[in-house]
Structure 1
Amino acid sequence: MMALSLLLLPLALAGCGADEDDGDAAADGKLLILEWSGYEATEYPQFYAPFTEKYADNLDEVVEYSFFADDAEALAKMESDIGADLVHPCNSWWQLYVDNGLVQPIDTSRLSNWSKIQPDFAAMGQFNGQQYFVPWEWGYESMLVRTDLVEEVPDAWADLWDPQYAGHVAIWDSAETNYVMAALALGFDPWNTTADQEAQIQQKLIDIKPNLLTYWSDYTEAYDLPASGDAWIVAGAWQDAYAYLQSDGYEVAYVQPEEGRLGWVCGFGLSAKSADLDLAYEFLDAAIADESMAALANEYWYGPANTASLPLIDEYVVDFMDLDEADTLTERTVLYRPLTEEQRIARTTLWDTVKASQ
């Protein structure tokens, strides 16, 4: 669910194809971080300012990276025991790390910036009465609309099925996202569905096919499809696609559906086998420092987990993301929740069935 800046996606895709580590970084005394490409301390030192300033002369000797393309790959790498000290997954996957013993509890007393973390986000990282994840950033998924190409701008997820958009809707090729989207359109709680409701969700996703232009998977498509005019609506789009289209002069809207935008939170987990706890905690504390969080928000239009960073964030980012209302995010946004392995498999199977249907 995490997005990277569209301008950096080619770098991200290249980075996901090969790792910088040899699997023995932790044993060699380096901090090995399992990460999305586009967040490296060596390339974006401003995201971890106190840490990178301290180790500026030998940062390459202190931090090393292994990259993943999505959360499924991140979990698989952790399960293969690559020797990572820190991992950066998104919240709907966190419970799987805890259940499989891949991460250890976080000692928040070792983080001087912990008190600045939004309490609702901190609570998401708690399992079995202990803090297992340090939330770092959050963002939206919604409908991106070319307002000059539609007669009516949709204001609900259910509107994606409106025949007036036939052949001009692009939805993300994501089992998790589309399950939630269809459940909301049907008025169901996406996290507590019955077998009958699951069957209705499957049929609902089949029923949208006459409206579909395509399933998009490469994030550049979230920009290119509406820019070309082929897609009038892109569902599951992140906020930075809207920002870039708007800045390039396109007439676009980023919808606040009546059911709520979808939302994700990502953060860092500390490996159960971390070889250098002191260095890991130093890195984590730097990542959630005010100046670090502001730099991340200004670069990628993300919401920071540290709300004390708001005075350092560009005003237009604060306004668009409603960062000054972060305490109400859980009330106005449908945030992804942890799924069990059984739920994840079931939703993937359902989505595969939908795509294969005629």
Structure 2
Amino acid sequence: MQKNLSRGLISSFAIALTLSVAPMAAFGADGELTVFDWAGYEDPAFHPAYVEKYGDSPTFAFFGDEEEAFQKLRTGFRADVGHPCSQSVVKWRDAGLLKPLDTSRIPEWDNILPGFKSMKDLMTTEDGQAWIVPFDWGNTAVTYRTDKVDETDIKSLKAFADPKFKDRVSIGDNVDDAYALASLAIGLTDWAKMTDEQFTEASAFLREVHKNVRLYWTDNTELSQAMAGEEVDLAWAWNETATTLMADDVPVAVKKDTDEGLSTWVCGYVLLKDGEGSEDKAYDYINATLDPVVSSYIVSEWGYGHGNANGMAAIDPETLKGAGYDDVAAFVDKTLFQSPVPVELKQKMIAEFEKIKAGY
């Protein structure tokens, strides 16, 4: 579809911008607000109320993964709003990169999905401060070409290391998704409790997967093109990949019922401490992303869930069922939730994943 193609071209260009030493701004003439985000989220359909009020989107700058974003912010890059995921919020907060949210300025705060409000150290801390407004949530799961892969061969996540898939596999160039896969494959669903022995086992699994990897994808466009072009048959991917490929009639499916399960994540918007833009516009932007009118779009066009419970409840039941969000309890069954991990463990994961990708 032209809409997906256009979004893909934008995402490809946006990723290219992240290759510079500092993030580059794009896609918006509003210089009073800079949003530091993943490529693709500059889509105006994610913040229509902001565009309606100000006549344009904010200025966007892009990062390839959260560690890259963290390092750039620590070395002086300035933005007003950021888009980290649950496993990174505590790290960003403890490094002094965030300022707490004033929830009285967020009208939809009480309508955020209840499960997110119970996330320790994320939504609120013991002193009542709030740090993130959940926007998008979903899975990283097995995605495969149905015309190339027999479903019986992928009952287990260990299929990613099966020699029969040599040069036909893709996983994300993303340490969190990689170790979520590895943790699940060794039978671990709470990676925050990973022992040294389990870390060694998980890393060994990723080394076996590396032997099969055709490419480490950096965004949905790259992976979608590889699967559509029959370069990749089996991927560890976000919901968006299958959603966009199926819209283009590519024979793919998501297998969420592997023996070990899948990974679940939630990401959202935070206020960055050293932002130099308008705080009023920052809250207007956050409120625009949480607006219930965004729910249907993010579910139907991107395959992700939205943070607004009322917005999700208003979506047509068949649309929710098709996206896998009709039963939230089943959605998170047998899942590794990408929660924060100890800093020391995260640094070990980062260093080891770089070695693995380099073939060591």
Q: Under a length normalisation based on structure 2, what TM-score does the superposition of the two structures give?
A: 0.83
Cα distance in 2 for residues equivalent to 1:183 and 1:254: 19
Q: Deviations over 1:304-326 (max 9, x none)?
A: 01021135546554123332333
Partner of 1:208, secondary structure, is helix
- Residue of structure 1 in register with 2:102 after alignment: 107
- Residue of structure 1 in register with 2:20 after alignment: none
Give the alignment partner of residue 20 of structure 1, picking from 25, 33, 38.
25
Cα distance in 2 for residues equivalent to 1:315 and 1:229: 33
Cα distance in 1 for residues equivalent to 2:349 and 2:174: 10
Q: Which amino acid aligns with 2:25?
A: E
- 2:172 is the counterpart of 1:172: yes
- Residue of structure 2 in register with 1:241 after alignment: 241
Following superposition of structure 1 onto structure 2, how do residues 68-147 of structure 1 map, counting pairs within 5 Å? 68-124=63-119, 125-126=122-123, 128-129=125-126, 130-147=129-146
Cα distance in 2 for residues equivalent to 1:302 and 1:353: 31
Q: Which amino acid aligns with 2:194?
A: T
> What is the Cα deviation at residue 242 of structure 1?
1.4
> What is the Cα deviation at residue 85 of structure 1?
2.0
Q: Deviations over 1:181-204 (max 9, x none)?
A: 122111134222211222222222
Q: Under a length normalisation based on structure 1, what TM-score does the superposition of the two structures give?
A: 0.83
Structure 1 range deviating more: 189-198 or 112-121? 189-198
Cα pair 2:265 2:337 within 8 Å, conserved: yes
1:208 to 1:328, Cα distance in 2 relative to 1, 3 A: closer
Cα pair 1:95 1:339 within 8 Å, conserved: no
Cα pair 2:175 2:353 within 8 Å, conserved: yes
1:244 to 1:12, Cα distance in 2 relative to 1, 3 A: closer
Q: How many residues align?
A: 340
Cα distance in 2 for residues equivalent to 1:97 and 1:285: 22
> What is the Cα deviation at residue 114 of structure 1?
0.9
> What is the Cα deviation at residue 267 of structure 1?
0.6
Partner of 1:132, secondary structure, is coil
- Residue of structure 2 in register with 1:190 after alignment: 191
Q: Which amino acid aligns with 2:345?
A: Q
Q: Which amino acid aligns with 1:183?
A: S
Cα distance in 1 for residues equivalent to 2:61 and 2:233: 37
- Residue of structure 2 in register with 1:225 after alignment: 226
Cα distance in 1 for residues equivalent to 2:326 and 2:108: 19
Structure 1 range deviating more: 335-344 or 324-333? 324-333
Partner of 1:126, secondary structure, is coil
Cα pair 2:116 2:123 within 8 Å, conserved: no
Q: Which amino acid aligns with 1:108?
A: T
Q: Deviations over 1:43-84 (max 9, x none)?
A: 51x32233332223xx46xx3333323222322332234442
Following superposition of structure 1 onto structure 2, how do residues 226-305 of structure 1 map, counting pairs within 5 Å? 226-234=227-235, 236-256=236-256, 257-274=258-275, 276-305=278-307
Cα distance in 1 for residues equivalent to 2:356 and 2:70: 25
> What is the Cα deviation at residue 292 of structure 1?
2.7
Cα distance in 2 for residues equivalent to 1:209 and 1:67: 27
- 2:209 is the counterpart of 1:208: yes
- Residue of structure 2 in register with 1:336 after alignment: 338
> What is the Cα deviation at residue 100 of structure 1?
1.0
Cα distance in 2 for residues equivalent to 1:327 and 1:195: 31
Structure 1 range deviating more: 302-311 or 274-283? 274-283
1:85 to 1:111, Cα distance in 2 relative to 1, 3 A: same
1:55 to 1:167, Cα distance in 2 relative to 1, 3 A: closer
> What's the % identity of the aligned pairs?
26
1:53 to 1:136, Cα distance in 2 relative to 1, 3 A: same
Q: CA RMSD in A?
A: 2.9
Cα distance in 1 for residues equivalent to 2:185 and 2:61: 38
Cα pair 2:191 2:341 within 8 Å, conserved: no
Cα distance in 1 for residues equivalent to 2:227 and 2:273: 44
Cα distance in 2 for residues equivalent to 1:291 and 1:266: 18
Runs of 5+ in structure 1 lacking a partner?
Answer: none
Cα pair 2:64 2:218 within 8 Å, conserved: no
> What is the Cα deviation at residue 7 of structure 1?
4.7
Partner of 2:84, secondary structure, is coil
Q: Which amino acid aligns with 2:24?
A: D
Cα distance in 1 for residues equivalent to 2:225 and 2:284: 40
